[in-house]
Amino acid sequence: MGNRSQLPLRERDAELALLGEALADALGGRGRVALIRGSPGVGKTRLLDAVCADADASALVLRGRGGEQERQLPLAVVRELFERPVSRADTEQRSRLFAGAAGLAAPVFDFGHGQSSSSSFAVTHGLYWLTANLAETRPLVLAVDDAHWADDASQNWLAYLIPRIEGESVLLALTVRPRELDPASRLADALASSPELVVIEPRELTAAATATVVEDLAGHAERAFCTTVHRATGGNPLLVRTLVTSLMATGVEPTARNAHRVLVAGGDRIGRIVLPRLHHLGPGSVALARAAAILGEASSLREVGELSGLDPGAAAAATDTLVAAEILRPDGSSGFTHPLMRAAVTDELGPGARSELHRRAAVLLADYGAGPEAIARHVVAMESTAEPWMVGSLRTAATLSMARGAPGAAIPYLERALSERPTESERAQILLELGSAGLRAENPEATRWLELAVRTATSATQRGQAVFALVDAATYRGEDSPDEVWAAAADADGDQRLALDALRTMMGYGFWDAPPIPPAQRPRRPIPEGKTWAECTWLAAVAFQALMDCAPASQVLDLAERALGDGVLLAGNPDAWAHAWAALCLLRAGRLSHAFAAVDEALGHALGTGALIQFEWNSTLRAQAHLQLGRLTEAEADIETSIQADHEHGWVLGRQAKTAVLVGILAQRYGPMRAAEVLAARGEGPKERRLSVLDLTEVEARGWLNLALGRPEAALTDLTACGSRLERWHSRRSAGFNWRAGAARCLAVLGRRDEAAALADEQLRDARAFGAAPWLGSSLSTVGTVLGGDDGIDLLREAVAVLESSEARLEHVHALHKLGVLLRHNRHPRDAREPLRQALDLAVKCGSPILADVIAEELKAAGARPRRRSVTGVEALTASENRVARLAADGMTNTEIAQSMFVTRKAVEKHLGNAYRKLSISSRTELPGVLAANG
């Protein structure tokens, strides 16, 4: 009888050729994805074996397998894939493997390199870089059998890897059953959109190939027997082998006279073939097969033997019998030769018998000191017995799943823990943990679990924790926060009360449909020192409130700098909002360099921990800082990076703020038409009913854009809507918005000059009282433009003087430009030339070709002859090309650049290649000189 692993593959030449081509591409540095899909038993695993064998001499081959009953084990497939290189690496090798962003994956393998994080994205991102680091030393083949049964976290990692595999020396080979892979899953979506995908679809064997396989197994076989085997099995290779092997084991010769025995045996279902054969092997073999099916192939033969109830000798004999019968694999594991074999054995068990085996397995594994997730898998699969120890085991497993970045795997453990009759205090805590896991896993039940946690909390501390989590849930989903949340949290005290008050303060600015807090009803308390996270969070909220109230900039700066002092906010909860809001206050109050430094620190923290949301929001903030500082190329690169990262996470909160920043940058850099095109592509703006202070920035940006496009009526509608919403929040005079300046300009264009002057004067009074140079300079420019004449010129000269001593370089350009225009219109062309020349020089340095062209035309009208600009060299680089080139010039490697921008090495290589071509250079060593020569 032939061994299945030694039998030649029949009718698979075309499939093997496709796999060979994909392997060759991967070995040559072009990453490929090979998807082997087909019905059960058609030979997918044999093809996977073949490509792995071909690659073994020239690549590192790592294998993993999904299992129908192991899907609850988080990152089980990932751990199986990487176990060998990680466990065998010495300290130095492990340091290289987990260098850079790969360190984010360290918690998956239960050691402390890098920072532990419960962020799913951080772990997934780290695993991608672990893959890239492995492939850098030797081509890599990742082979995943039955990927449709891989746990969700492993599937999500595969989905993340697939679009990034280009340019890596990696072949990812997957086998799937088409009907088993969820078409709505991230993995299915990634496969469908991958340009690097090659699809291999092995078909059932023809009658001729079936006859050849029968002869491979049995030697000579008569034609009628072979024909009947093909008819009974449909040419399915597994069914052919199993049927023929089973018949031969019972002494049936492959002759025409025995053809009817084929039909009696039943070749259409594996169970009809395997189960009679299994029972024929004796009760010991049946018991051991059932134990192996329940425990899974990760368990040892000793554990399987004990669960079967056999003594060690009998268990060893039964194992040998099952291996000889080709039911268990001959590799020393407890794995079945095919998942269909295991399914046939488990399907034969009744619900009661299966539950009892799972219960005994849980107890057995607990006695052996197995990992909590291995135990919890069996607890979840059994009927509830309300045993107290199981609650603790399930919660421990859930905690471990969260630490490994697999919150979805924690949910069934915690749901089951609720049914094991926990104490009241335990129940509330489990609900809180369940809600937090649901939030991270984007489970729609997260809000309901957290609401229950608030209602059932047995202490003020527990209730406060539930409130924070519930507000987080509302934030991420863009949902309303239930009114009962704040009533339930009324008994909080100390730091928790302080942090809750901070949350309530921010909610008053349009978040979660919370009503605004009138100034007279705001909580009053002494200004804290900023020693704890709660104190710093409250300081950040009050700083923002002061900004919205148009309190003096010095007060806003004092509060914001206290909030940011000593790095307490980032250390305490880097995902929270407070650090970003405090940095925004610095920005609006004119302390641009300090704001930039605070945002840079947060971005460094985000890169080190893989915190994508923190990275997105702070990239947006840094783009705003670059914009005000007059670094438009850098601003565009930052906002592009933020929006690209947003596609990975789909965060609801802050999307409109990104749009506002993007529109502002594009309008300044390329003109209003380009900005309008991008705004239209971003889709419909925020809904009026759900406007938050973040959404309002887009409304204001639309107004300014409409004004630049020559649509003053539409612009006035947007800008006054912005003002009306601010009034509802008791913040009409907010120093965080410039709506009055825009509205005044619209009114002036529409001939309503008295209204325009009144509104502009109102803002100017507030800007003088606020005292921050950027806002004051902008306000002076607006009033000067509206007034015109000598009074307008005086105000514009004052604006230039104010902005000249500030860091707000872009606003300085506009003030100089407006001054020059007004001087020329008032018949002072000679006086207009100097401010226009300064404006042109600054506009070029700021990276605004469209503004430079406008100013140059104005200079010509004033009688000057500005030099003709040519868009070559550095100016021809896109924002991303410019950023990559400068990082490379600073000495960063392609890997370091890619990790700092959350992109692939291939993307960096493309940007560098484009930069070399545009700069007429051939290597990165020439970059520093070329970039320095061009500013």
Distances (CA, A) of 252 to 98, 249, 792: 57, 7, 107
Q: What is the mean pLDDT of the chain?
A: 88
Q: How many other CB atoms sit within 10 Å of the CB of residue 50?
A: 17
> Residue 725: pLDDT above 90?
yes
Instruction: Read off the pLDDT band of 25 (50, 70, 90).
Output: very high
What pLDDT sits at residue 708?
94
The 10s digit of each residue's pLDDT in 148-181 is: 999 999 999 999 999 999 989 999 999 999 888 9
> Residue 116: pLDDT above 50?
no
Instruction: Read off the pLDDT band of 114 (50, 70, 90).
Output: very low
Q: How much of the chain exceeds pLDDT 70, in percent? A: 93
Instruction: Read off the pLDDT band of 476 (50, 70, 90).
Output: low
Alpha helices by DSSP H, 111-185: 120-137, 152-161
What pLDDT sits at residue 796?
96
End-to-end CA distance of the chain: 77
The conformation of residue 327, written as its DSSP 8-state character, comes to S
Beta bridge partners of 200: 36
Q: How much of the chain exceeds pLDDT 90, in percent? A: 58
State how far the Cα of 142 lies from the Cα of 75, in Å rounded to an integer. 15
The 10s digit of each residue's pLDDT in 567-611 is: 888 887 766 788 999 999 999 999 999 999 999 999 888 888 777
Angle of helix 270-280 relative to helix 237-249, nearest 10 degrees, comes to: 30
- Calculate mean pLDDT across residues 52-62: 95
The 10s digit of each residue's pLDDT in 179-222 is: 889 998 999 999 999 998 999 999 999 999 999 999 999 888 99
> Residue 650: pLDDT above 70?
no
> Residue 688: pLDDT above 60?
no
Instruction: Read off the pLDDT band of 267 (50, 70, 90).
Output: low
Instruction: Read off the pLDDT band of 5 (50, 70, 90).
Output: low
Burial of residue 179 (number of CB atoms within 10 Å: 0-12, 13-18, 19+): exposed
Residue with tokens 């990276």: 847
State how far the Cα of 545 lies from the Cα of 533, in Å rounded to an integer. 18
Alpha helices by DSSP H, 565-650: 568-572, 578-588, 592-609, 612-629, 632-649
Q: Single out the residue of 173, 180, 181 nearest to residue 200, CA to CA.
A: 173
Burial of residue 337 (number of CB atoms within 10 Å: 0-12, 13-18, 19+): buried
What pLDDT sits at residue 871?
52
> Residue 645: pLDDT above 80?
no
What pLDDT sits at residue 273?
82
Where is mean pLDDT largest: 265-269, 487-491, 918-922? 918-922
**Phi, psi (rounded to 5 degrees) for 143:** -115, 115
> Residue 472: pLDDT above 70?
no
5 vs 797: which has the higher pLDDT: 797
State how far the Cα of 696 lies from the Cα of 657, in Å rounded to an integer. 8
Alpha carbon dihedral 381, 387, 391, 394, in 10-degree steps, equals: -30
- What would the two tokens of residue 293 be? 């099916």
Q: Please give the full DSSP string across 878-910, using - where no structure is assigned.
A: -HHHHHHHHHHHTT--HHHHHHHHT--HHHHHH
Q: Single out the residue of 386, 454, 382 nearest to residue 422, CA to CA.
A: 386
Give the pTM: 0.80
The 10s digit of each residue's pLDDT in 127-144 is: 999 999 999 999 999 999
> Residue 920: pLDDT above 60?
yes
> Residue 377: pLDDT above 70?
yes
Where is mean pLDDT largest: 281-295, 485-499, 640-654, 681-695? 281-295
- What would the two tokens of residue 225 be? 């027997």
Q: Please give the full DSSP string across 289-311, using - where no structure is assigned.
A: HHHHHHH-TTS-HHHHHHHHT--
Q: Single out the residue of 73, 628, 12 nearest to residue 299, CA to CA.
A: 73
State how far the Cα of 632 lies from the Cα of 661, in Å rounded to an integer. 11
What b-and-e string marks burial along 680-691, b requiring 16 or more CB atoms within 10 Å of the CB?
eebeebbeeeeb
User: Is residue 387 helix, strand or coil?
Assistant: coil
State how far the Cα of 741 lies from the Cα of 838, in Å rounded to an integer. 24
What pLDDT sits at residue 522?
80
Specify the amino acid at residue 311. D
What pLDDT sits at residue 358?
95
What pLDDT sits at residue 117?
46
Evaluated on CA atoms 280, 281, 282, 288, the torsion sign reads: negative
- Calculate mean pLDDT across residues 319-334: 90
- Calculate mean pLDDT across residues 505-531: 79
